């Protein structure tokens, strides 16, 4: 049982606040993923929860107990590091047993816990090896085993897969998902910059940007109903297209006259007061379809990328500094390069942003 609560948590190095106004409520059994561009403070936030970095403002509680000044070992957390951080001079067994030895557990308890963790992670044959005699994936499993033996309330993962190669990364990701499945009561916090990991593992994703939380929500919530342009463009690949325009028709269906001459219709409701409002419409590349009439956008295809299952179309920029539009069409399309294509999207797939914020959340 572990409910984590962060209230107005902030982190400052001297005058510089790298994190501020962090408010989060994490329930027992959730797998929360912190995701964001590099330098957004996601690892710092994790290390503050771990107790490796001091919390300079706000309150952090686990099950209602204030944790701000509690040493890491007494917070009931375990952490898996990006670089594994195995003790190189100890065997796998000793690596996993270290925390229990420090906690003065009996030899019988220790060996029972280590054997159990080794069985879960299929490390039993390697217990007497040194870390240097293990492969990257095995080392990662030892690091996870070291967390499991402590039976913590909260597991913290700091980019645990980024040192693995692509194939192993997928396999280990699934292992972590299974691990979570087998331990429904444990709370996990997972930091990554890889949105595929975030989308597949998380029960809720926390998108961090610019020292604060951009949005918290389930993976599909973030995908379907992004709160702002940042989240809209950060989640999904290739990222969402944004087109500037002006609202001309309001109501249950909003009509936007785009600067490029096209017209967009969105199911985001607006009121009469919004008429004439400058907005950006957002459309995901995969939501664009070929248009016959009433197109969103018409342009010349500059580059195509055929991936078999989908074909990516990159359009010529309207102006040199303008954003490049991308469309993702299912199936194989050949001969579109250097041709002019008109595209449209269903109204329910069109997002509206004013000043960077979604008009859905007003």
> Applying CB under 8 A, which residues contact another protein?
50-52, 71-74, 77-79, 81-83, 85-90, 98-99, 102-103, 146, 150
Instruction: Quickly list DSSP for 292-344.
Output: SSS-SEEEEEEEEEE-SSEEEEEEPPSSTTSPPPEEEEES---S-TTSEEEEE
Closest to 43 measured CA to CA, from 157, 205, 163? 157
C-alpha distances out from residue 335 to 230, 303, 304, 306, Å = 34, 11, 9, 11
Measure the CA–CA gap between 38 and 54, rounded to whole angstroms.
21
Instruction: Quickly list DSSP for 12-27.
Output: EETTEEEEEEEEEEE-
- Return the number of the residue (3 or 94) whose C-beta is nearest another protein: 94
Measure the CA–CA gap between 110 and 116, rounded to whole angstroms.
10
Q: How far is the CB of 195 from another protein (least distance, A)?
A: 25
- Return the number of the residue (107 or 196) whose C-beta is nearest another protein: 107
- Return the number of the residue (55 or 283) whose C-beta is nearest another protein: 55
- Return the number of the residue (78 or 296) whose C-beta is nearest another protein: 78
Compute the half-sphere exposure of residue 15: CA atoms within 13 Å on the CB side of its CA. 0
Q: How far is the CB of 70 from another protein (least distance, A)?
A: 12
Q: How far is the CB of 102 from another protein (least distance, A)?
A: 5
- Return the number of the residue (44 or 270) whose C-beta is nearest another protein: 44
CA–CA–CA angle 116, 76, 26 (5° rounding)? 110
Q: How far is the CB of 87 from another protein (least distance, A)?
A: 6
Q: How far is the CB of 86 from another protein (least distance, A)?
A: 7
- Return the number of the residue (98 or 324) whose C-beta is nearest another protein: 98
Closest to 216 measured CA to CA, from 59, 353, 8, 35? 35
Q: How far is the CB of 48 from another protein (least distance, A)?
A: 13
C-alpha distances out from residue 172 to 80, 142, 164, Å = 13, 12, 9
Q: How far is the CB of 52 from another protein (least distance, A)?
A: 5
Residue corresponding to tokens 């816990």: 113
CB 78 within 8 A of CB 155: yes
Q: How far is the CB of 68 from another protein (least distance, A)?
A: 16
Structure tokens at 244: 């500037």
Q: How far is the CB of 256 from another protein (least distance, A)?
A: 50
Measure the CA–CA gap between 157 and 192, rounded to whole angstroms.
9
- Return the number of the residue (127 or 352) whose C-beta is nearest another protein: 127
Compute the half-sphere exposure of residue 20: CA atoms within 13 Å on the CB side of its CA. 7
Q: How far is the CB of 99 from another protein (least distance, A)?
A: 4
Residue 329: count other Cβ atoms within 10 Å of its Cβ: 20
Q: CA 193, 345, 358, 362 torsion: positive or negative?
A: negative
- Return the number of the residue (43 or 280) whose C-beta is nearest another protein: 43
- Return the number of the residue (61 or 98) whose C-beta is nearest another protein: 98
Burial state string for 90-109 with b = 16 or more CB within 10 A and e = fewer than 16: ebbbebbbbbbeeeebeeee
- Return the number of the residue (89 or 119) whose C-beta is nearest another protein: 89
């Amino acid at each position: 049982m572990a409910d984590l609560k962060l209230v107005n948590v902030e982190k400052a190095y001297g005058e510089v606040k790298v994190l501020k106004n962090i408010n989060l409520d994490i329930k027992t059994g959730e797998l929360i993923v912190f995701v964001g561009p590099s330098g957004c403070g996601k690892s710092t936030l994790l290390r503050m929860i771990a107790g490796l970095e001091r919390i300079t403002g706000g309150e952090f509680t686990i099950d209602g107990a204030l944790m701000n000044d509690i040493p890491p070992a007494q917070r009931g957390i375990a952490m898996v590091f990006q670089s594994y951080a195995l003790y190189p001079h100890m065997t796998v067994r000793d690596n996993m047993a270290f925390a229990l030895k420090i906690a003065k557990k009996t030899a019988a308890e220790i060996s029972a816990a280590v054997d159990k963790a080794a069985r879960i992670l299929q490390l039993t044959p390697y217990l007497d090896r040194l870390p240097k005699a293990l492969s990257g994936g095995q080392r990662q499993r030892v690091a996870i085993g070291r967390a499991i033996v402590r039976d913590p309330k909260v597991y913290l993962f700091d980019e645990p897969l980024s040192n693995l190669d692509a194939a192993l990364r997928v396999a280990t990701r699934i292992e972590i998902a299974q691990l979570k499945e087998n331990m429904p009561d444990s709370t996990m916090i997972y930091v990554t910059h890889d949105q595929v990991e975030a989308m597949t593992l998380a029960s809720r994703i926390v998108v961090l940007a610019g020292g604060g939380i951009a949005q918290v929500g389930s993976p599909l919530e973030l995908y379907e109903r992004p709160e702002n342009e940042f989240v809209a463009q950060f989640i999904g690949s290739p990222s969402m297209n944004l087109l500037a325009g002006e609202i001309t028709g309001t109501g249950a269906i909003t009509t936007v006259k785009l600067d490029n001459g096209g017209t967009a219709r969105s199911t985001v409701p607006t009121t009469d007061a919004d008429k004439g409002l400058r907005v950006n419409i957002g459309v995901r590349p995969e939501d664009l379809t070929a248009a016959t009439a009433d197109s969103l956008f018409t342009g010349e295809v500059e580059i195509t990328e055929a991936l078999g299952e989908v074909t990516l179309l990159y359009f010529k920029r309207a102006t040199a500094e303008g954003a490049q539009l991308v469309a993702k069409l299912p199936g194989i399309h050949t001969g579109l390069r250097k041709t002019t294509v008109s595209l449209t999207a269903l109204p329910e797939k069109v997002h509206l942003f004013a000043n960077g914020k979604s008009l859905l959340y007003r």
